[in-house]
Amino acid sequence: MLNTVIFDMDGLLIDSEPLWGLAIQEVFATVGVILSPELTHLTTGLRTREVVSYWHNYYQWEGKSAAQVTEEIIDNVIAKILATGQPMEGLEYILQFFREKGFKIGLASSSSLRLINAVLDHLDIRDYFQAVYSAEFEDYGKPHPAVYLACASALGSDPLECIAFEDSVTGMTAAKAARMTTVVVPEAHNRKDVRYSLANLQLNSLLEFNDARLHLLMK
């Protein structure tokens, strides 16, 4: 019986993916690495340190350590979110929907905990969540299921009792590997990616989720 919902954060609850792209481009430019928007999309859903490691292995820049670049990116993203970050369409609706159903609600993100906390406070949604987990504290990030399994455990839920909401293929893969029922809400330019067919349900907006779709997932 489904009784728990766990949300990803970036690109699902807050429109932060464009901000991440800008922050990555700006910080990498300080070490002479120029990334196009297409290249930044290659690492969507990974932990920041994994993104930095990926490009550091490729470009082998000097002058700043990978750890320093990682922290600068996180600082940059937080600043952009606090300045211009907007909730995704249907944010309050979907959180209130599951609260009214009596579901346990968690958050499982690849972002650092300090960035998660900045978003929760910026959007004023912290009170909706009974468990908040960052993959930065796990041995493996998404697409490994570790952060989803840790969040489910903290909520006292079996993974088979959980619905996971995601926006990226990497996150969807993590949720499916955790054996959770998975709903994806991809960005508009990614909606035709055939890999999303692995999800139990695909939506164009959080507003499209309703009683009828919940019932279908429970069958």
CATH code, domain carrying 22: 1.10.150.240
Single out the catalytic residue among 10, 121, 127, 211.
10
If you ran DSSP here, which 8-state letter would residue 198 be given?
G
Q: Are residues 156 and 200 in the same domain?
A: yes
| Tokens describing residue 31 | 């070490």
Q: Read out DSSP for 170-205?
A: HHHHHHHHTT-EEEE---GGGTT-GGGGGSSEE-SS
Domain termination site, one of 32, 55, 84: 84
Domain that holds residue 94: 4-15+86-218
pLDDT in tens, the chain (219 residues): 999 999 999 999 999 989 998 999 999 999 999 988 888 877 877 889 999 999 999 899 988 999 999 999 999 999 999 999 999 999 999 999 999 999 999 999 999 999 999 999 999 999 999 999 999 999 999 999 999 999 999 999 999 999 999 999 999 999 999 999 999 999 888 899 999 999 999 999 999 999 999 999 998
Single out the catalytic residue among 8, 139, 167, 211.
8
Q: Are residues 91 and 144 in the same domain?
A: yes
| Tokens describing residue 120 | 């929760």
193 is catalytic: no
Q: Are residues 72 and 92 in the same domain?
A: no
Domain termination site, one of 62, 84, 106: 84
Place of tokens 């960035």: 115
Predicted local distance difference test score (pLDDT) of residue 88: 98
Q: Are residues 110 and 211 in the same domain?
A: yes
Q: Are residues 75 and 29 in the same domain?
A: yes
Contact between 108 and 8 (Cβ < 8 Å): yes
Place of tokens 């455990």: 153
Predicted local distance difference test score (pLDDT) of residue 192: 93
| Tokens describing residue 157 | 């839920």
8 is catalytic: yes
Q: Are residues 166 and 212 in the same domain?
A: yes
Q: Are residues 152 and 212 in the same domain?
A: yes
Q: Are residues 80 and 33 in the same domain?
A: yes
Predicted local distance difference test score (pLDDT) of residue 30: 95
